[in-house]
Structure 1
Amino acid sequence: MGFSLFGNKDSTDSDRSIWEGLRSMDALETLLKNSEARPQVIFKHSTRCGISRHVLRNFENDWDSKESTEVYLLDLLAYREISNAIESRFGVVHQSPQVVVLYEGKPIFHASHQSIDAHEIGQHIKAMVNGSR
């Protein structure tokens, strides 16, 4: 594993094991299908933005890996068409960095920039899942 302060072509694949890559429209469709059973978290990240990198690291450090959800990392520079599809399909205006949580086929939470708080997102997911049973 390497360390790069300014990012590189592999910078979307964090050294943390929490991430799944979101690299195709087919993967987005699979994620959407999986959201019917459990929440899916999408972290939209710009590899050229220092703020995005900082928020990403904070999220990684604070995310409770015991959450019963998959967490996807979307590299906005490489896969902008996926971000555009998320915006048009779910009505969530594009931001970077941004977290969008999908559950039962629809967005249940989104936050951007410094408002991204892994603990708050986890609590929101728990409340939604427990409330829908």
Structure 2
Amino acid sequence: MNWNKLTQPGQIQEIKALSEEKPVFIFKHSSRCSISSMSLDRLLRKWKDSDAEKVTPYFLDLIASRDLSDLVAKEFRIPHESPQLLLIKNGEVVYDNSHFEISYADLMGKI
């Protein structure tokens, strides 16, 4: 998967704008959490290169950017969780799940 790294606050507005044309998802990951690692692995194992035509993936490293994660929660009016997957369409979160509830099938079904 070719991740776009979410590292700067200004990217949140860019993601909202991009999502007007094509859905965007943000995967919030903590490298200190085994559940987060398992959720990420499950997502990566199912991802197909052709999925990039349907949705743009962003990766947020929670250890490096916890303040940015809090800003994402505030901007999209969703509580922070870790791990967490957010699907954004037309500037709004249309799918939000965390931990073992993160599902590739559910994600792709919402696109």
Q: Please, what TM-score do these two structures have when normalized by structure 1?
A: 0.77
| Cα drift, residue 77 of structure 1 | 1.2
Structure 2 matches for 1:25-64, cutoff 5 A?
Answer: 25-64=9-48
Paired residues, number? 109
2:106 is matched with which residue: 120, 124, 129?
120
SS across alignment from 1:47: coil
| Cα drift, residue 50 of structure 1 | 0.9
| Cα drift, residue 39 of structure 1 | 0.6
Structure 2: give runs of 5+ residues left out of the alignment: none
Structure 1: give runs of 5+ residues left out of the alignment: 1-16, 126-133
| RCO comparison, higher one (Cα < 8 Å, 6+) | 2
User: Runs of at least 4 residues of structure 1 off by over 6 A?
Assistant: none
Residue in 1 that maps onto 2:74? 88
For the 8 Å contact 1:41–1:71, the answer to whether it is kept is yes
For the 8 Å contact 2:15–2:91, the answer to whether it is kept is no
For the pair shown, the structure with the greater C-alpha radius of gyration is 1
Q: Please, what TM-score do these two structures have when normalized by structure 2?
A: 0.91
Alignment RMSD: 1.1
In 2, distance between residues paired with 1:40 and 1:65? 15
